[in-house]
Structure 1
Amino acid sequence: MQELKGAMKSRDLLKSTAIRSVLSEVYAADKAASGAAPPSAVVGILRKAAARRTDAAAEFRKASREELAAKELQEAAILQSFLPPLLPEADIDRVLKDVLASPSVSEAIAKGPPQKALGQVFKAFYAQVDKSSVDPELVRRRTQALLAHA
């Protein structure tokens, strides 16, 4: 809220608009949760909002609208400044190797093709790691790479 107040006092329309749009999504999540949304949900909302703006910037570039693309990228940068850093790839690999070594997952991998065990691997991984602290696409790619070597 301090960032929003500061943006409003300095008449930074871009920053205040970006923060307000995400706050409205957070308030909607609070209502849906019948109380305060968990912090991981708020981080997820922020990540999705930043990703939407990055995607919109790419579309504006395709349409040769550089000024609108620049605005969307600025908003994405503002939102990303509120996000905690993502878990590094080395830490993701370490957790995935532990998950793959667990008896239930290794048994599922031994029974059939390793790709069929993806669901169990993801379930065990996200039981240990908060989904909002990782890039799901990176987790998927690393899991498939590790399963290919299994």
Structure 2
Amino acid sequence: MSLKDRIGEQIKAAMKAKDKLRLETVRSIKKAILEKEVSVRPQGQEELTQEQEIELVSQLAKQRRDSIAQYRDAGRDDLADLEAQELVILEEFLPKQLSEAEIQAVVDEQIAKVGATSPKDMGKVMGPLMQQLKGRADGKTVQEIVKHKLSQ
């Protein structure tokens, strides 16, 4: 079942359950997918690939994480809590996120593969690493781990 189909089912379920927050969040995902589909049509692509869908939902989740941090800094815990609830719903549509230990193992493997030894080699490590971990790990977390490993 494609993400678009799952979203449709979730919208129906949220309407039946009268779950306003879930309905709004799932509708926002559907809206983002439809907008992205319209933008790729000139390239001759009718629907998004699974990778594009995951990337899109990842972007929405990242926006929520950034908003949570900004709201907390501004002392608006009420809005931060709302964004956190939306983030939980968005994460249901993403692949299982890797734990920090799993990310560190992949980072160690990539560092050994490219022979990186200093923070100057960060670009050599991050590019292939983010392709490998796309949708399964937060880029900020990966960057912090790589930076820490290369500065030792």
Calculate the TM-score normalised by the size of structure 1. Answer: 0.75
Aligned with residue 42 of structure 1, among 45, 53, 62: 53
Taking the aligned partners of 1:126 and 1:67, their CA distance within structure 2 comes to 33
Amino acid of the residue matched to residue 93 of structure 2? F
Task: Determine the structure 1 residue equivalent to 2:141.
Answer: 138
Asked whether the 8 Å contact 2:111–2:125 carries over to 1, the reply is: yes
Among 106, 110, 117, the alignment partner of 1:99 is: 110
Give me the whole-angstrom Cα distance separating, in 1, the residues matched to 2:37 and 2:100. 32
Indicate the percent of aligned positions where both proteins have the same amino acid: 28
Structure-2 separation of matches of 1:60 and 1:95: 32
Q: 1:27–1:88: structure 2 CA closer, same or farther, 3 Å change rule?
A: same
Matches within 5 A, 1:100-115: 100-102=111-113, 105-106=114-115, 109=116, 114-115=118-119
1:1-150 mapped onto 2 (5 Å cutoff): 1-33=8-40, 34-57=45-68, 59-60=70-71, 67-102=78-113, 105-106=114-115, 109=116, 114-127=118-131, 129-149=132-152
- Count matched residues: 141
Residues 29 and 148 from structure 1, CA distance in 2 versus in 1: closer, same or farther, beyond 3 angstroms? same
* Aligned-CA RMSD value: 2.6
Mapped contact 1:87–1:133 kept (Cα < 8 A): yes
> Highest Rg: 1 or 2?
1
* Deviation for aligned residue 1:101: 1.8
Structure 1 position 55, deviation (Å)? 4.0
Unmatched 5+ residue regions in structure 1?
none
Stretch moving more, 14-23 or 35-44: 35-44
**TM-score normalised according to structure 2 size:** 0.74
